[in-house]
Amino acid sequence: MKEFLVYTGLRILLFLAALGVVLGLWVLIAGEANLLAGFVIALLISGIGSYVLLNGPREALARKVDERARAATSRFEEMKSKEDAD
């Protein structure tokens, strides 16, 4: 759960930072900001940025998910073999 919260929190922070920069630059250049376009551009920037910058937390989350999936599969196979034995 910790890995999920860390990765999600970092993704949100990265999006908010990108949104602030995009809207700030838009206001400086054009005088007013288009919110919808700003959100879309910030989403694209933060998506690409998270792929590059958040590789470590993403890998930690993937390892944890894989670990839990393997444990669940193991328990399922164990229960299945007990049923077959009965």
Q: What is the pTM (predicted TM-score) of this model?
A: 0.74
Please compute the mean of the pLDDT values over residues 65-73 and round it to a whole number.
Answer: 88
For residues 34 and 47, give the distance between their C-alpha atoms in angstroms, rounded to a whole number: 20
Q: Is the pLDDT of residue 59 over 80?
A: yes
pLDDT confidence of residue 41: 97
Q: Side chain identity at 64, as an amino acid letter? A: K
pLDDT at 84 over 70: no
Give the mean model confidence (pLDDT) for residues 61-83.
85
Cα 86 vs. chain centroid, distance in angstroms? 44
